[in-house]
Amino acid sequence: MGGRQQALDDRVLLALLRGINVGGNKVVPMAALREVAVGLGLRDVGTYIQSGNLVFTTDRPIAIVETSLEEAIEHSFGFSVEVIVRTAEQWQRYAGGSPFPDAERERPNKLYLGLSKRRPASGAEATLRARAQAGERVEVIGDAIWLDYPSGAGRSKLTPAVLDRAAGSTVTMRNWRTVTALAELLRAKSRS
């Protein structure tokens, strides 16, 4: 029974919206996003900060949830937004530790987890490392693209467009602080 209690509810999911509420573009108020999600039949809906992190419970397959959210967001707000969904269990693995523990401690706001719509293309890590010119460190582990930007992401050549091309599909990123905060939110939702 002890191991069973540790398992997370596989119906608890996290949807990551790419590129909303940045510089006044693609504005999606979190209250309105929650309403859209509830309108789709998602349950126990919550959000975390304004960058588009939606936590919820559903029995629907991930691919259907992604498509449904993308269509509903476009219908409700008038622009397209790509949505990447992961399970609570997947997210706990990411939050279990990055390949850069020094960055976790010293600069958690400059350590990023990048997740792509599809599994990163073969060679993505080598492509990104070749573009790293400001001391950035890159590791691709499974479906996770880990990026340490010691000088900050703003001046890096590892831009969202470069990440998308290297991965072969849309990538959205969250910093280490957000990764760990979302992990706690997902754990709490799995226990409720």
CA distance 14 to 85: 6
Instruction: Decide if 98 contacts 111 (C-beta within 8 A).
Output: yes
The residue length of the chain stands at 192
Q: Which tens digits make up the pLDDT trace of 88-136?
A: 999 999 999 999 999 999 999 999 999 999 999 999 999 999 999 999 9
Q: CATH: 1.10.1060, 3.30.70, 2.40.50, 3.40.50. Which one for 93-174? A: 3.30.70
Residue (of 87, 80, 18) closest to 56 by Cα position? 87
Residue (of 145, 192, 164, 189) closest to 15 by Cα position? 189
What does pTM read for this prediction?
0.92
Instruction: Decide if 160 contacts 171 (C-beta within 8 A).
Output: yes
| Residue 8: C-alpha distances to residues 21, 45, 66, 142, 180 (Å) | 30, 17, 21, 20, 16
Residue 5 pLDDT greater than 70, yes or no: no
Place of tokens 């799995």: 190
User: How many other CB atoms are found less than 10 A from the CB of residue 102?
Assistant: 12
Residue 178 pLDDT greater than 70, yes or no: yes
Residue extents of the structural domains in the chain: 2-92+181-191, 93-174
The whole-number pLDDT of residue 59 equals 95
Same fold, 2-92+181-191 and 93-174: yes
Residue 6 pLDDT greater than 60, yes or no: no
The whole-number pLDDT of residue 132 equals 95
Domain 2-92+181-191, CATH homologous superfamily name and number: SP0830-like domains (3.30.70.1280)
Q: Which tens digits make up the pLDDT trace of 24-75?
A: 789 999 999 999 999 999 999 999 998 899 999 999 999 999 999 999 999 9
